[in-house]
Amino acid sequence: MTDIPPNYAAVRQGLIPLTPQEKMKLEKDGLDVIHDIYRYAKTGFASIHPDDFDRMKWYGVYRQKPKESGYFMMRLKLPGGQLTAAQARTVQSIADRYAHGFCDITTRQTFQFHWLTIEDIPAIFSELAAVGIATSGACGDITRNVVGCPVAGIDPEALIDATPQLLEVSAGLSDTKEFSNFPRKYKVSIAGCCIHCAQPDINCLAFFGVRRGDEVGYGLKVGGGLSSAPKLSVHVPVFVKPEQVWPVARAVSIIYRDNGYRHTRTRARLKFLAADWGAEKLREEIEAILGYKLDSHSEWNFPRDPETDHIGIHKQKQGDLYWVGVCFPGGRIRDSHLAHLADLAEKYAAPGQDALRCTNKQNLLLLNIPEANLDALKRDLDALGLDYAPSNFRKGCVSCTGIEFCNLAVAETKNRMIRLVEQLEAQSGWYKGKIRIHFSGCPSSCGQHQIADIGFRGAKTKVGTELVDAYDCFIGGRLGATRRFNELLKGKIIAEDVHLFIDKLLRVYDSLKQGDETFAEFTDRVKKDEILKALG
């Protein structure tokens, strides 16, 4: 081990050197800032204490770029990405009245607003609470939105419906001082999906569906994460029964809270502790907290296609019902489309079963549509310009917030992705294969560029004397059986040339691939120098 994990009690007692963030959290718990938020709404932006800007993240509220602009972004908590038509309509109403008419779907299956003022926040909290939506834990050193499979409970191929366990874990880790101060952010994934769409390989704590004979339960992975030092999760070889999910989740949370590397911010994520401890020690510590042994189990079916997003029209396991996936490049929702989808959900879903789901690829699903209503629903979606049969470029794209609003980003991503999809559909329509293209505006990897077939990370370069947006290009990332992060292919590609570069790269792949070789398999076999040479 390269670090000695500081005990949480020692941190609280001031027995070890504290980072500024740890000092701030000891002075006032992040959850306690809620009273200050209401006070600041009356006294104004200029009155906000600098430390409280950070604490406000515990309620999903954080400063928009530039930091002194007076505007905020806000994320919501939607466990599993699940919401009703009424909730979707409220989200759209808030976007229309407070957030310049748009919102973004995030990679954690929830929504994000922009352009909010401190004076707006209490009213927004009240309107969200009225429809059962909270923001507590949407950001900060706390449990983020717990993600799952967007078709949990309706997918006929799923191993298990993880919704009860997901909601139990989300409730157990939310709004409690027991777990309001982790070393850094804490991301949890719980799903029974057979394709592992909830990405257990890159979450801090992940439960994924497994079968053991005639019994169905969960496998366990700990310590995945991206950012500037990405790590794939450690597989702990145990079989977790459904009723054991919350006790195990609580045990892992205690381990992270009490042993995480708090004395250095850059190593405070659970991924570093898990990598240092390994599967055997993780299991020992989990079982010590539980007070009993977990069943050993190390066999599971690898997902056949871990990056599929359930987009399109698919039959549910319930009678003649279907779900319909609608694609939003980069996750941006404009033109009151969320309210329109809420209307369509109520109009076409089976009586009393209107439901929408956000996906972690920044798209939306409508659930419980009787087969007899599909044609009418498709006509209404067509009239709205909403795409339920997207191209592979459109359904394979993911983007972070980017320089438009984020203080960390160095390049535009969201609007660039929307334009890029249109460019590729117009120029590269010859390519019909699957491809995943992700944009991150900085090394933090909120756009998850490291797991994409083709991932772009924001940069800057000079054209003459002008400093312009550029991107470093990485290829070959994937999750699942052959999981690995992608590798740098070429640096500082000018933003205006990205679509041309992708077209060339896909033509090289198309000309050199062997049989049905996927893009990821192609990048495993063909050396990067050979690909660069072919690109010219």
Element (H, E) at 25: helix 20-27
Distance of CA 63 to the CA centre of its chain: 20
Residue 2 has pLDDT above 50, yes or no: no
Residue 435 belongs to a domain: yes
Contact between 199 and 478 under an 8 Å Cβ cutoff? The reply is: no
Residue 136 belongs to a domain: no
* Among candidate residues 528, 532, 529, 465, the one with its CA nearest the CA of residue 501: 532
Q: Provide the CATH number for the domain around residue 105.
A: 3.90.480.20
Measured distance CA(221)–CA(224) in Å, rounded:
8
* Domain C-terminal end among 296, 331, 352: 296
Say which amino acid occupies 523. T
- How many independent structural domains does the chain possess? 4
Contact between 135 and 125 under an 8 Å Cβ cutoff? The reply is: yes
| Maximum CA extent, the chain | 67
Residue 73 has pLDDT above 70, yes or no: yes
Q: Are residues 285 and 169 in the same domain?
A: yes
Measured distance CA(137)–CA(140) in Å, rounded:
7
* Among candidate residues 453, 447, 516, the one with its CA nearest the CA of residue 480: 453
Q: Are residues 507 and 531 in the same domain?
A: yes
- How would you classify residue 260: left for phi > 0, otherwise alpha for psi between -120 and 50, otherwise beta? beta
SS3 313: strand
Q: What percent of the chain clears pLDDT 90, i.e. is strictly above it?
A: 89
Distances (CA, A) of 8 to 15, 383, 501: 10, 56, 49
Whole-number pLDDT of residue 9: 72
Q: Are residues 247 and 175 in the same domain?
A: yes
SS3 366: strand
Average pLDDT over the chain, rounded to whole?
94
**Which residues, 6+ apart, have CB-to-CB distance to 209 below 8 Å?**
158, 159, 160, 162, 191, 192, 193, 194, 216, 217, 218, 219
Mean pLDDT of 296-312: 76
SS3 56: helix
User: For residue 126, what are its two tokens?
Assistant: 């009240």
User: For residue 141, what are its two tokens?
Assistant: 């050193």
Structural domain span for residue 378: 312-390
User: For residue 275, what are its two tokens?
Assistant: 């990598």
Residue 60 belongs to a domain: yes
Q: Are residues 373 and 418 in the same domain?
A: no
Say which amino acid occupies 346. E
* Domain C-terminal end among 105, 130, 155: 130
Buried b (16+ CB within 10 A) or exposed e, 337-353: bbbbbbbbbbebbbeee
| Locus of tokens 């009586």 | 351
Q: Are residues 386 and 426 in the same domain?
A: no
| Residue 23, φ and ψ in degrees, nearest 5 | -65, -45
Q: Are residues 470 and 366 in the same domain?
A: no
Distances (CA, A) of 503 to 173, 427, 486, 507: 45, 8, 19, 6
Half-sphere exposure of 117 (CA within 13 A, CB side): 12
Secondary-structure percent of the chain, ordered helix, strand, coil, rounded to 5? 40, 20, 40
Mean pLDDT of 451-473: 94
Q: Provide the CATH number for the domain around residue 399.
A: 3.30.413.10
E runs forming strands in 308-411? 312-315, 321-326, 332-333, 356-358, 364-370, 397-399
Q: Are residues 173 and 87 in the same domain?
A: no
Q: Are residues 403 and 530 in the same domain?
A: yes
Measured distance CA(447)–CA(409) in Å, rounded:
11
Q: Are residues 44 and 90 in the same domain?
A: yes
Q: Give the predicted TM-score (pTM) of the model.
A: 0.95
230-289 pLDDT tens trace: 999 999 999 999 999 999 999 999 999 999 999 889 999 999 999 999 999 999 999 999
Runs of H (alpha helix) within 160-299? 163-173, 245-259, 270-290
Residue 52 has pLDDT above 70, yes or no: yes
500-532 pLDDT tens trace: 999 999 999 999 999 999 999 999 999 999 999
Contact between 324 and 373 under an 8 Å Cβ cutoff? The reply is: no
Residue 204 belongs to a domain: yes
Whole-number pLDDT of residue 16: 72
Q: Are residues 399 and 513 in the same domain?
A: yes
Contact between 72 and 406 under an 8 Å Cβ cutoff? The reply is: no
117-131 pLDDT tens trace: 999 999 999 999 999
Whole-number pLDDT of residue 189: 98
Residue 143 belongs to a domain: no
Mean pLDDT of 32-48: 98
Whole-number pLDDT of residue 483: 92
Measured distance CA(465)–CA(392) in Å, rounded:
37
Residue 138 belongs to a domain: no
Measured distance CA(99)–CA(92) in Å, rounded:
9
Q: Cis bond leading into 183, ω under 30°?
A: no
Measured distance CA(328)–CA(109) in Å, rounded:
13
Measured distance CA(360)–CA(379) in Å, rounded:
26
User: For residue 204, what are its two tokens?
Assistant: 């801090």
Residue 16 belongs to a domain: yes
Q: What angle do CA 321, 396, 356 make, to 5 degrees?
A: 35
* Domain C-terminal end among 110, 130, 150: 130
Measured distance CA(359)–CA(105) in Å, rounded:
8
Q: Provide the CATH number for the domain around residue 338.
A: 3.90.480.10
For the ranges 44-53, 308-317, 326-335, 487-496, the lowest mean pLDDT is seen at: 308-317
**Which residues, 6+ apart, have CB-to-CB distance to 462 below 8 Å?**
468
Measured distance CA(450)–CA(479) in Å, rounded:
10
Q: Are residues 281 and 329 in the same domain?
A: no
SS3 112: strand
Residue 432 belongs to a domain: yes
| Residue 99, φ and ψ in degrees, nearest 5 | -125, 35
Q: Are residues 351 and 279 in the same domain?
A: no
Residue 463 has pLDDT above 80, yes or no: yes
Neighbours of 68 (CB within 10 A): 9
SS3 73: strand
